[in-house]
Structure 1
Amino acid sequence: MSIITKVYDEQAGSPFLVEGESTHNSAGFDILAEWKAGNSELLKEKLLVHGAILFRNFGINTVSNFDQFLQLFKESTLLDYVGGNSPRTKLSKGIYTSTEYPADQFISLHNELSYAEQWPTHLFFCCVIPPNEHGNTLIADGRKVIDSLPPEIVEKFETRKVKYIRNLHGGRGLGPSWQDTFETQDRDEVNEICRKSNIELLWKSDGTLRTSQIASGVEVHPVTKEKVWFNQADQFHPSNHSPQFYEALKHMHKGQLENFPTHACFGDDSPIDEDELATVREVFKTHTVYFPWQKGDVLVIDNMLMTHGRAAYSGPRKILVAMS
């Protein structure tokens, strides 16, 4: 089996595609491993240029095969998702299901854990079961996003930063629980995790945990030195919901946004203008790249350069994810 390389979407410039020419070769992974040994520098270069690399037709379609891939391609230790904001199931050390939101929901584009003090450098997605229809993992280059946004919006996010607020229920309620979020039933352990991560927290009498943390709105990539749009303000802000659901949340919480399951404001506690968030979302749409999943695909993302999200879908879908 030979290997071909090209840009998947020439117009968008991403992702870079590494593809085995045969789809029925049991030795596909061994061939990829041999090819990778002589092309490591090429892959590093292409990941920085394109932000994402798609590996196709190498038979990587189980948890164990994905783990083999990770051992070969990861450059640092796999990370746990403790403190993350998305519902996931841990399948093995460092390997999780992708976000388990209902199939009919769109997941907006974002940089993984950009609301945290530390975030993964690379993300790895593996397609075990492709959806019947749609269900793309969407990607958009944060360099193009920041270049397309009005300078006054960029300046606000860069100087004021973003405060992320979460209200995590204790077992019943909207959104994730604090137990699932921090992968523990022990409040003292949660307190220690938050202390180490500079997360402010408040335990409420109804069993809810409120957390808040301030993070960047704009970052500089440590290798390319390029500025990138790096935040999840538009995703955390409740205006990201449908108008009907947003109005229902307002009614439920008497208009107090800080009591919503998630909320985002600027780091100085000033509100983020909803029209500006709408502009951010429109710019993301302009730069979103779509590619259909095939069984055995693996997508590697530079988490600072490239944002990711998910289109709604129908039928079964199983995408694995790991972070390093």
Structure 2
Amino acid sequence: MATTITEQLAVQTLKLNDSSSDLAFFEPFSLPSTNQRILTAPHPEDTVIPLALRPATAEQPTLDAAISTVKSLQTQHDGYLTKKLATHGALLFRNLPIHSADDFSRFAHAFGYSPHEIIGIVVDRPLLAPNVAPANEAPKEVLIYNHNESPQVPHAPEYIFFYSHKAPAKGSGGETPISSSLELFNRANREIPEFIDQLATKGVLSQVTYKVDKQYEGGSTLRQAFGKEIVEGDDLETRKRKIEDQIKRYGRGKHTSWKWEDSDQTLVVTHHLPAIRTQQSTNLPTLFTGLAAYYNNSQANNTGKRKNVTQVLFGDGTPIPEKYLIHLVKITDDIRVLHHWEQGDILVFDNVIAQHGRQPWTGDQKDRVVLASLFDAESVPGNYGYGDWAQVVQALS
């Protein structure tokens, strides 16, 4: 399969034709079939995920040259890399001189996207460089199954960058799963159409629980989630008001509600959200969700140490039958590949149409260090459902 993929990608070279330019350039290359596959409908024929790119020159380019090339491809070549993302869902960049969080930040910002402000964070993400934080610091034994980023809240990023600062030894696990949300919708619409109809008609209720103290290793606190305006000396009522003001920034009106519990030590926020959205450039429906992840994570991590802080129901409050969740997992297992990290790799996801996750690994927790950077697009995904709850909006500034 790898040879076939190489032949198919030969015509997709990114080499710049400007002979006077000293910019570095990229070329596609093949990955093992466990790490790269040809996508099915509705993707164009012979489209692979991820599209793997590396410098075409024998010598490794400088970081400045790589950044200049990315900027040129984006500004002078009509958003070339953004269009590749919209087709493939994920891009892999390899053999670039990126060795630190700052290097990674510079490269990610070269794409020209606006940094994403996380509101209602559910994992601990301390800032390491401009718009760069750990991807997820949950214990290495914890499975994080395929999902779109931030499906449990109204305000999600459109683009996600991951950088492997340290890669686990080969065969020890720690891979990042990659799959297409467009393909997931297409398969589910064929195989369980009644489920898709219910999602389109009802949407989902996402109930997220936040606590003053973090609920599990790698999780966030209530202040990390909504407390950016809180200062030392604020009394309880002031802290609550500032937290509620952040929730109101979602701009969802009656479709987002909240309640305080446990003597104001716990906050439960409920969102009525679309699980089906449409890709901006094609209007194709995409299953933007963590439904399979919520189910599979709860099964795999059922040790009592990892608490699932998000509960998802149909939008009318009725439970989602387990058979549909099991079927989503089956489809996802069929269509995903596992990215085996090499140190310095950068994976870029179009979060609207591609899902990611994290496999457990053996060895030490610090054997795998992956950093993340999140960005917004100029426009948000379109709506697919039948109610005003299906509209996707940017958070209010």
The verdict on a shared fold, with TM-score over 0.5 as the criterion, is yes
Kindly indicate whether residue 286 of structure 2 is the aligned counterpart of residue 208 of structure 1: no
Q: 1:28 aligns with which of 55, 62, 69?
A: 62
State the one-letter code of the partner of 2:226.
F
Q: 1:37 to 1:200 in 2, by over 3 A?
A: closer
Partner of 2:248: 195
Secondary structure, in 3 states, of the residue corresponding to 1:235?
A: helix
Q: How does 1:88-167 map to 2 (within 5 A)?
A: 88-132=125-169, 133-149=172-188, 150-167=192-209
Kindly indicate whether residue 130 of structure 2 is the aligned counterpart of residue 82 of structure 1: no
Output the CA distance in 2 between the equivalents of 1:47 and 1:312. 27
Output the CA distance in 2 between the equivalents of 1:92 and 1:165. 31
1:86 positional shift: 2.5
2:179–2:332 CA contact under 8 A, matched in 1: yes
Q: 1:293 to 1:211 in 2, by over 3 A?
A: same
Identity of aligned residues (%): 21
Q: Highest CA radius of gyration, 1 or 2?
A: 2
1:243 positional shift: 7.3
TM superposition score normalised by structure 2: 0.72
Output the CA distance in 2 between the equivalents of 1:86 and 1:234. 19
Partner of 1:46: 84
Q: 1:130 to 1:240 in 2, by over 3 A?
A: closer
Output the CA distance in 2 between the equivalents of 1:244 and 1:33. 40
State the one-letter code of the partner of 2:123.
S
Partner of 2:380: none
Q: 2:223 aligns with which of 176, 179, 185?
A: 179
Deviations 1:254-313 (A, max 9, x none): xxxxx9732110111011111211111111111112121111111111110101111111
Output the CA distance in 2 between the equivalents of 1:146 and 1:49. 16
1:172 positional shift: 5.9
Secondary structure, in 3 states, of the residue corresponding to 1:313?
A: coil
Partner of 2:355: 307
Q: How does 1:179-258 map to 2 (within 5 A)?
A: 179-184=223-228, 186-197=239-250, 198=252, 199-206=256-263, 207-236=265-294, 240-242=297-299, 245=302
Q: 1:36 to 1:156 in 2, by over 3 A?
A: same
Count of matched residue pairs: 311
Structure 1 residue runs without a partner (length 5+): 250-258
1:125–1:321 CA contact under 8 A, matched in 2: yes
Output the CA distance in 1 between the equivalents of 2:197 and 2:259. 31
State the one-letter code of the partner of 1:218.
I
Deviations 1:173-208 (A, max 9, x none): 455431232254533221101122133111113411
1:106 positional shift: 1.1
1:87 positional shift: 2.8
Specify which structure has the bigger relative contact order, considering alpha-carbon pairs within 8 angstroms and separated by 6 or more residues: 1
1:145–1:284 CA contact under 8 A, matched in 2: yes
Partner of 2:100: 62
Kindly indicate whether residue 309 of structure 2 is the aligned counterpart of residue 267 of structure 1: no
1:111–1:303 CA contact under 8 A, matched in 2: yes
1:221–1:228 CA contact under 8 A, matched in 2: yes
Output the CA distance in 1 between the equivalents of 2:349 and 2:55. 19
Output the CA distance in 1 between the equivalents of 2:331 and 2:125. 28
2:298–2:308 CA contact under 8 A, matched in 1: no
Q: 1:231 to 1:244 in 2, by over 3 A?
A: closer
TM superposition score normalised by structure 1: 0.87
Secondary structure, in 3 states, of the residue corresponding to 1:322?
A: strand
When the two chains are superposed, the root-mean-square deviation of aligned CA atoms in Å is 2.5
Partner of 1:71: 109
Q: 1:244 to 1:72 in 2, by over 3 A?
A: closer
